[in-house]
Amino acid sequence: MGDPGIRVEGISKVFGKTPAKALELVRSGMGKAELLEKTGHALGLHDINLTIGAGEIFVIMGLSGSGKSTLIRHFNRLIEPTAGRILVDGEDILRLDEPGLRNFRRRKIAMVFQRFGLLPHRNVLDNVMYGLLIDGVTRRKAEERAREQLALVGLAGFETRFPAQLSGGMQQRVGLARALATDAGILLMDEAFSALDPLIRHDMQLQLKALQAKLQKTIIFITHDLDEALLLGDHIAILKDGTVRQAGTGAEILTRPADDYVARFVHDVNRARILTCGQITDRAIRVDTPGSVDARAPIETAFAAFAQGEQAIAVVNGNGQPIGAITWQRVMQALAGR
């Protein structure tokens, strides 16, 4: 096994009759709209380069048509690129032969679908076991694993229900349990929470984060919701017209947008909820007022203390040791996007 994680190197995808020729035109400067108009070819992705760390949640976000689904489908080769390569744990997955690919899809990568994709005439337990049985896992083992995963997503006791008897959020948790049951290290989630109503959706986001802290899978999560991206993503890539405009942590994207498009994109985000106290701490200041805030807490947790009239508030690390302070001015600068 080579480097753990996923590397996307120069992936381009053109849809149409002669994609390689069309890609040449793109490489010599033709834009997506012109390509479509002149040649009838759709530019799905152009020269995507990404590094996705093992065990992180990597969010791909962008507006409708930006290429998110096209990109995520490359990871399990539902789509073959026009150019470029993808390395998973150092292995070039485009070189896998048929049996190799089948094995890769079974053991290394699992997908959670937007509309749950459950079998309506099978109960919850059977839905989660189904793929395992097809894979040749014994019934006893499959059932044991399925029950474990259902318990993990909070659905113990619902094994004999049918999908139609469950709420949307519960159905999606079945979908998640099914993906987890495969034991694959990589989870692909294309708009997996988008069909849920807001409260349930937020609940699922928190649950996924909690699960991830335990399971340490590599999760590639697609959304067009910026709040969801910022909440979940260890790293986020912003796509526009098939290219990556910026990839980085949420804080990097908020505080140092790569271009005007990204800046406009993140303009309305509630920074007080996303940026942490640690990110705006002035390490040269020590204050000994009674209260303090945790460096990992969002800036908004300091608001109450500032409302009491404090000018600066001590910031402590995970061990409770002071590392500096945040001032009223720094808070304002952060909220103003500087």
Ligand X SMILES: Nc1ncnc2c1ncn2[C@@H]1O[C@H](COP(=O)(O)OP(=O)(O)OP(=O)(O)O)[C@@H](O)[C@H]1O
Q: Which residues sit at the interface with Mg ion, rule CB under 5 A?
A: 69
Is the sign of the CA dihedral 158, 181, 152, 195 positive or negative? negative
Q: Which residues contact 141 (CB under 8 A, 6 or more apart)?
A: 132
Nearer to ligand X by Cβ, of 44 and 250: the residue is 44
Nearer to ligand X, 49 or 138 (CB): 49
Select the binding partner of residue 147 from ligand X, Mg ion, none (C-beta < 5 to 8 A, by kind): none
Q: Report the nearest approach of Mg ion to the CB of residue 63 (Å).
A: 10
Report what 15 binds from ligand X, Mg ion, none; CB cut-off 5-8 Å by kind.
ligand X
Segment (H or E) for 189: strand 186-190
Residue (61 or 302) nearer to Mg ion, CB: 61
- Shorter beta-carbon distance to Mg ion: residue 68 or 271: 68
* Cα separation, 104 vs 182, whole angstroms: 12
Q: 53: Cβ–Cβ under 8 A, 6 or more apart, which residues? A: 5, 218, 234, 235
Nearer to Mg ion, 5 or 44 (CB): 44
Q: Exposed, middle or buried, 89 (CB in 10 Å: 0-12/13-18/19+)?
A: middle
Minimum CB–partner distance for residue 58 and Mg ion (Å): 16
Of Mg ion, ligand X, none, which one sits near residue 248, judging by CB under 5 to 8 A according to partner kind? none
Amino acid identity of residue 216, one-letter, is: Q
Q: In angstroms, what CA-CA distances link 328 with 104, 163, 232, 288, 325?
A: 52, 51, 28, 16, 10
Q: Where along the sequence are the contacts to ligand X (CB under 6 A)? A: 15, 42, 44, 62, 64-70, 224
Q: How far is the CB of 195 from ligand X (least distance, A)?
A: 12
**Residue with smallest beta-carbon separation from Mg ion:** 69
